[in-house]
Amino acid sequence: MQNQMFNSNKFKLGIFSPNCSGGMAITKVPERWDASWENNLKLAKMLDEAGIEFILPIARWKGYGGETDFQGSNLETISWSAGLLSGTKRITVFSTAHTSFHHPIVAAKMFSTTDQISSGRFGLNVVCGWNAKEYEMFNIDLPDSHDVRYGYGQEWLDIIKKIWATDTPFDWQGKYFDLREVYGDPKPFNKSGPPIMNAGSSEQGQNFAAQNANYLFTVLVDIESGASSVKNIKTLASKYGRDVGVFTTSYVVCRPSDSEAKEYHEYYANQNADWDAVDKLMELQGLHAKSFPPEAFKLYRDRFAAGHGVYPLVGSPDHIANEMTKIYNAGFSGTTITFVNYIDEFPYFRDEVLPRLEAKGLRLPNSQ
Ligand SMILES: Cc1cc2nc3c(=O)[nH]c(=O)nc-3n(C[C@H](O)[C@H](O)[C@H](O)COP(=O)(O)O)c2cc1C
């Protein structure tokens, strides 16, 4: 079976973070996302039928506090992806793995098992670490040095790929792992293995993605700077003789008119934001630095409340389709999207925005 990440749609779409309570919206509104298994399965079937390419989870081990404990309840992403893949037919489902929390021999087998369950519809998001509170819970040091974080991640991924590529046991003596007679079977469903993504933003993270990933996911601040970061990432990847697709990540509030969308945005992301959780998340991500100019701080604080800091797509179906076209023209291969309540809001997006993207030639009509 073809993994949907390799289909011929010019602008691909994925749903981000439905495995976490609140999804990406740090809000107290009662309709905020309940990340139950039942909701996740119902959503995945809806997305599968609509021809959406992928679902991307967030691997989270601890919530961000506040009244809602944003993302405090979260389905573990490898077992979650195995469940969703067996309940769907076409869609790609990613798992997100923290390199430090999964031994590579165990990880290689969990990923290849999930890929076998789905006849090759699995995808892997590699995270090399940033969340100090979670590392404390595991009593694992989060290295200060990005060279160490990504050096460890490189060895972790090299071991996994070698297990997948080798039929005879091998010894591994590296800087971080010392292993004997390493072996794993089954292998992934396709010889090429599952598509790999990474969302590192540091220089080391971008180098890691350029060397290892099929896709780099990057946060979009504005279209102009987005276009130049796509160019830089493509240039970096070409130095390693590789082509890396660049995706971004956005949140959607789509209503019949721009003013209705803005009104709902004001209601959930300002009047009813869970500001304590917003501040905790921003602090953990290092965005409370004193050097941050106040206007930029306010912009980011608002974007964090509304969608975890990602790019806003707020308006009518025409507005959303036009914005997505600008993102495509900036060089992006696609974007993830999120909603306050995925199940309530996705059908309107499917019925109104997808046909507009097809009319613009960015996507082909859905063929069941
Ligand atoms: C689309 C996307 C998905 C991500 N998924 C996760 C995740 O599931 N878990 C997590 O801890 N970090 C996640 N991150 C964080 C990044 O993987 C990365 O660790 C962070 O941006 C810091 O990168 P840096 O250390 O290279 O600066 C995600 C980021 C983006 C943009």
Q: What is the pLDDT along the chain (368 residues), one digit of tens a residue?
A: 778 999 999 999 999 999 999 999 999 999 999 999 999 999 999 999 999 999 999 999 999 999 999 999 999 999 999 999 999 999 999 999 999 999 999 999 999 999 999 999 999 999 999 999 999 999 999 999 999 999 999 999 999 999 999 999 999 999 999 999 999 999 999 999 999 999 998 999 999 999 999 999 999 999 999 999 999 999 999 999 999 999 999 999 999 999 999 999 999 999 999 999 999 999 888 776 555 667 777 888 999 999 999 999 999 999 999 999 999 999 999 999 999 999 999 999 999 999 999 999 999 998 75
The number of the ligand 1 atom at minimal distance from the alpha carbon of 57 is 8
Question: What is the model's pLDDT at position 292?
Answer: 60
Question: What is the model's pLDDT at position 288?
Answer: 62
Question: What is the model's pLDDT at position 283?
Answer: 87
Question: What is the model's pLDDT at position 299?
Answer: 83
- How many Å apart are CA 109 and CA 280, to the nearest integer? 35
Question: What is the model's pLDDT at position 189?
Answer: 97
Question: What is the model's pLDDT at position 286?
Answer: 77
Cα 131 to ligand 1 centroid, rounded to whole Å: 9
The number of the ligand 1 atom at minimal distance from the alpha carbon of 130 is 19
Report yes or no: 256 and 316 within 8 Å, Cβ to Cβ. yes
Question: What is the model's pLDDT at position 82?
Answer: 98
Residues with CB under 6 A from ligand 1: 58-59, 96, 125, 127, 130-131, 146, 199-202, 205, 217, 219, 249
Cα 183 to ligand 1 centroid, rounded to whole Å: 29
Question: What is the model's pLDDT at position 22?
Answer: 98
pTM, full prediction: 0.96
The number of the ligand 1 atom at minimal distance from the alpha carbon of 59 is 8
Question: What is the model's pLDDT at position 297?
Answer: 77
Question: What is the model's pLDDT at position 323?
Answer: 98
Cα 170 to ligand 1 centroid, rounded to whole Å: 31
C-alpha separations of 331 from 249, 321, 326, 337 in Å: 14, 16, 9, 17
Helices (H), the chain: 37-50, 77-86, 104-117, 132-138, 146-165, 203-212, 223-239, 258-266, 275-284, 294-307, 317-329, 342-359
Helix/strand/coil for 70: coil
What are the residue ranges spanned by the domains of the chain? 4-359
Please report where in the chains the tokens 């493509």 appear, as a residue: 234
C-alpha separations of 23 from 18, 34, 236 in Å: 5, 8, 32
Fold category of 4-359 in CATH:
TIM Barrel (3.20.20)
Nearest CA to ligand 1 atom 20: 200
Q: Give the tens place of pLDDT for each residue, 129-173.
A: 999 999 999 999 999 999 999 999 999 999 999 999 999 999 999
**Ramachandran area for residue 224 (φ above 0: left; ψ -120 to 50: alpha; else beta):** alpha
In the chain, % of residues over pLDDT 90: 92
Nearest CA to ligand 1 atom 5: 58
Q: Identify residue 306 by its one-letter amino acid code.
A: A
Report yes or no: 27 and 305 within 8 Å, Cβ to Cβ. yes
Q: What is the DSSP string of 24-38?
A: T--B--TTS----HH
Cα 309 to ligand 1 centroid, rounded to whole Å: 12
